[in-house]
A and B are shown apart, each in its own frame.
Chain A
């Protein structure tokens, strides 16, 4: 198939001084799956936003199916048969599937007749592409994988011939991701064109026909997927050679530093979100908790670190118990050697409007070295921040810069530097590389292994199965608030994937 679905010529877009897209040429063949990869900030999203009409390019031409196209708004894009599935779903949570699919395409003021039409159309789409969803289910009751399917249905319902998916697998279990890929292949077989934006090289290799690599706003290469390798793509993305595997030696586990026994946590509605969880973390080992997002890992971390109250259970930190049910005191825990890199650096781990140096002391701002009586010792704080910037290679190296102006990877390094430099006994880490570019991931993984080798007890929670497998010495899998299994790091992805979906192969065999 040599027909061209989309052709971009010389697309440039600047935001103030930043050139987000520089003179981009891209040709996407109809009926193929085309991957676009690049680090955070490489300009992938900007390019797709131009294609979908959120932004206007400063210069350059777009043609769709061989004809020049002026895309000024998303409705123009939809009219041209371009559909987009966003990373963060654009669904009304308390509407049904049918209502969500129709939203914005209702047709007329009285809904009766269009509801009938929409229902019939959904049936057809379901039949043609294997996209089964109950049209009357309410969105908030559906698992994430199905919600994503509704997003795809929405685009197809509007007649999309070209489908853009922005980081579609971030929230899916491996099984759900596989299912998504089957759907995408089927869509391709039906003649649809699919553009897949991702930073996961494995997905690119698994499903795309062609792949384009972006770096710093420019399109650096386009390859046939069959003719490239993961190593080459990674190097193109980062611009230098990258180590994809983490080098690590044998763990030398010492005494138990963190011990959790029968911990139970309820959320605000009284639903049990962590259900009698027990685990031990020894000095000098990394214990990884795998699981699909939303299975209680976040609440487990919060309860252990004193941010959230637990209902029952005990936590012991280096032999002494931790107050769990009363007014927990995160400062006291820090004093006793527990450092915590929270999952959500934007809302919890950092205060984005703060200057970098103000974030570099957050949670440790009570320490004498940062204070002069009731006053903050501004000089000491800034000197301390500059030291960490140097040591962790945080860029730009400006401790007075507003934290929001750092990239995701550098923001994460600010948090890591703060927590690791306290020389803790126990380090609790949630999603250390979420939204972090490849180069920084390498650095962060190395630091975590270093911490382990220095004899720290590390508890790691991540939804990235690769990360869990390559860093952990032991893996616990959480499902529906419970620890459903413990495995070694050499366990196959398939087995862990099943555990993450609540299926225990061993039990099933019995």
Chain B
């Protein structure tokens, strides 16, 4: 028996509900802040100020958002095929290896604009390769992709430590990281874009890969909704049996979707490795792969939702760092709690307020609301 709900207009579906979820998340986060004896309103002010207050802060926010756009898109593409790729973290990490190898090989011979496309390819190929193994097991052996991708995060972490310590570390160095790339391995910063709006940016890692992320978001939209491949991915995602009936090979489509997902996750590495640190360091992904899951959930697996969701999480990262600095009672862990609450309400509990809002809409304006088929169907 389906409950009688009205269908929501698009603005409520994509705008109102995420906002309500977000408001509740911040309300509960405010209670937590009160619990540790700080003023939640002042905390919110610091957080927002810290994320958007000055050009410098905005640049940092966008820098973080860049990573989250890539990982969010990665999760979304797999979602459309009803695959839950939790391995973005590991795929991004291994993608970093692809970026680093390209940069180490060419940074002194080629200009950055020639190294960049090679590095993009390196990141995508390495990320995709890391996603391929779980995808193959899922498609051929039915091994659950959630389990295998999460395992592969650990394997990636160990593999990268081994490579950094034993292979990539320059002789004589104490730090487990590659040498610093010279000019050809450094992406130009985009801070001038913000300065064009009269904002001042002293030094921030906001770089060219942000534009690549936006381009990737557009291409993912084209892929999912405008190509035969995307059509087949969505078909498999909604109904594997219908896909088989339509002649879409399960094995092929699962592997392709995961390869694209892994490639997008891998491209996240361009942002920190080539855009900021200019060397491959240990643990440079710092959770961006997991944040991508929340971003995809909140953005409802649509690029137009993922970009703003990624910017929101960028704000939380950047503003949260400022908050931990300004308020002694609020530690770095508190910030993680606040981020966790946003993920909880905006992602996991995405449908909590939906029924209430739908009933509200149905009673307010029955004419504006469409009908769910279940309501009138029957016998």
Can you give 28 contacting A-B residue pairs, CB < 8 Å? A15-B376, A16-B371, A16-B375, A17-B366, A17-B369, A18-B375, A18-B376, A20-B376, A40-B378, A44-B379, A166-B379, A330-B245, A331-B247, A340-B245, A347-B241, A348-B239, A349-B242, A351-B234, A351-B239, A351-B242, A354-B238, A363-B245, A365-B231, A371-B228, A374-B228, A376-B226, A378-B226, A404-B373
Chain B residues lying within 8 Å of A354, measured Cβ to Cβ, are 234-235, 238
Q: Which residues of A contact B376 (CB under 8 A)?
A: 15, 18, 20, 41, 43, 46
Count of chain B residues near A, Cβ 8 A: 36
Q: Is A380 part of the contact surface with B, judged by Cβ < 8 Å?
A: no
The closest CB in chain A to the CB of B229 belongs to A374
- A181 adjacent to chain B (CB < 8 Å): no
Q: Are A342 and B366 in contact (CB under 8 A)?
A: no
Let me know if A45 and B241 touch, CB within 8 A: no
B235 neighbours in A (Cβ, 8 Å) = 351, 354, 362
Q: Which of B1-9, B61-69, B296-304, B341-349 forms contacts with chain A?
A: B1-9
| Complex: chain B residue closest to A333, CB-CB | B247
By the criterion CB–CB under 8 Å, are B379 and A41 in contact? Answer: yes
Chain B's closest residue to A306 (CB) is: B247
Contacts A378-B226, A407-B377; A49 near B242 (Cβ below 8 A): no
Residue A35 at the chain B interface, CB threshold 8 Å: no
| A197 beta carbon closer than 8 Å to chain B | yes
Shortest beta-carbon distance from B239 to chain A in Å: 5
Q: Are B375 and A49 in contact (CB under 8 A)?
A: no
Q: Are B239 and A347 in contact (CB under 8 A)?
A: yes
**Residues of the B chain whose Cβ atoms lie less than 8 Å from the Cβ of A54:** 1
What is the total number of residues of chain A having a CB less than 8 Å from a CB of chain B?
A: 57
Q: Which 7 A-B pairs have the closest CB atoms?
A: A45-B378, A15-B375, A331-B247, A15-B4, A330-B247, A363-B246, A16-B6
Q: How far is the CB of B230 from chain A (nearest CB, A)?
A: 8
Alpha-carbon distance between A61 and B130 when the two chains are bound, in angstroms: 65
Q: Return chain B residues, CB-CB under 8 Å to A371.
A: 228
Asked if A375 meets B378 with Cβ closer than 8 Å, knowing A16-B6, A362-B235, the reply is no
Chain A residues, CB < 8 A from B241: 344, 347-348
Q: Is the CB of A41 within 8 A of B377?
A: yes
**Cβ–Cβ contact B228 & A366, under 8 A:** yes
State the Cβ distance, B35 to closest chain A Cβ, in Å: 40
Chain B: minimal CB distance from A196 (Å): 12
* Centre residue among B232, B362, B367, B373 by max chain A CB count within 10 A: B373
Instruction: Say yes or no: is A75 at the interface (Cβ < 8 Å to chain B).
Output: no
* Chain B: minimal CB distance from A166 (Å): 8
Indicate if B355 sits at the interface (CB-CB under 8 A).
Answer: no
- Which of B4, B245, B249 contacts A342 (CB under 8 A)? B245
Q: Does A190 contact B (CB under 8 A)?
A: no
A320 part of interface (Cβ distance < 8 Å): no
A49-B1, A362-B235, A375-B228 known; 8 new pairs, CB 8 Å cut-off, are A16-B371, A45-B378, A348-B241, A349-B242, A351-B234, A366-B247, A375-B222, A407-B373
Contact of A334 among B232, B247, B249, B378 (CB under 8 A): B247
Q: Does A467 contact B (CB under 8 A)?
A: no
Bound CA–CA A383/B376 (angstroms)? 29
